[in-house]
Amino acid sequence: MSANFLDILSSDERMPDYIFYRNLWWNKGELNEKIKWEEITLPYVLAKGIDIEEYEKRTEEFNVHGCWEWSNGEVLIYEFPSKPHEVGIGAITEEIMGACRSVKGTPSQIYSFGATGTRDGNRGKEADASFRPKKPAEEPWPNLVVEVAYTETLDHVEEALRYWLSPGRAHDCFNSLWAWHYYVSAGRGTRNTPPLVTEFEFGTQDGTGAQLNIVQSQRIINVPLRCLYHDLKPTVQMPQNLPDPIPLDFFFVQFAITEAFDIY
């Protein structure tokens, strides 16, 4: 369990402000600009000696999803809240749910589970977004997960992929703002190297900093139905009224992120 917040205050009156405010995020769920995120190297250890139940309780109580991760008793920050990150998640979710609208209200409906937490031995993780149909109770893992990486390091992105795409878990995963689409059943790759089937850049700028202009249908991720409907309940059938594969157009994701900067 973590130390009492009042104990933290009294134990070191000379504590620098930025350390105090970093502790405040863990202890009270308050996120303050005085934390000085620009000086932090990710992943950052926010708290130590924490059990998984306490971690899950606080992430739910403070609604901290997609930023914290638990590993071997440590709470890690691996992503900072940002407009591109949050708007990107919403836009991708809208694309997926819109593509599956024709099965809404049927036994084949695809459900958005958001940042539902999962456990794996000494690690607890949440996807930025996750999706699946009805599945047997003993198969709680999502079939499709989305990880939106904006301030997140490439090393952590690769680590997250290994977590989600290990045998018996998710079958499809893609990352943003540079999109990598990994599909377990594509027939390539190894146990430790999931097969990469699609890769493209779709942010507002390219790798050189120049403005990146794309048009509709230029940046597409195709999600096979056998992935999205993997391991169904016996009473659920793969629908016949959805395209196979389902195309997700990242033009609209880029558009949403660009517009969000103008809105704010």
Does this model's pTM top 0.85? My answer is no
Domain borders along the chain are 5-77, 83-263
User: Model confidence over 50-96: pLDDT tens digits?
Assistant: 998 898 888 888 878 778 888 889 998 877 777 777 888 899 999 99
Q: Percent of the chain beyond pLDDT 70?
A: 78
User: Model confidence over 116-130: pLDDT tens digits?
Assistant: 777 776 777 778 889
> What kind of architecture, by CATH, is found in domain 83-263?
Alpha-Beta Complex (3.90)
Average pLDDT, stretch 175-185?
A: 72
pLDDT of residue 153: 59
Concatenating the DSSP letter of every residue in 204-253 gives SB-TTS-B----TTSSEEEE-HHHHT-S--TT----SSS-SSEEEETHHH
Question: Which residue, 229, 214, 261, 224, is CA-closest to 246?
Answer: 224
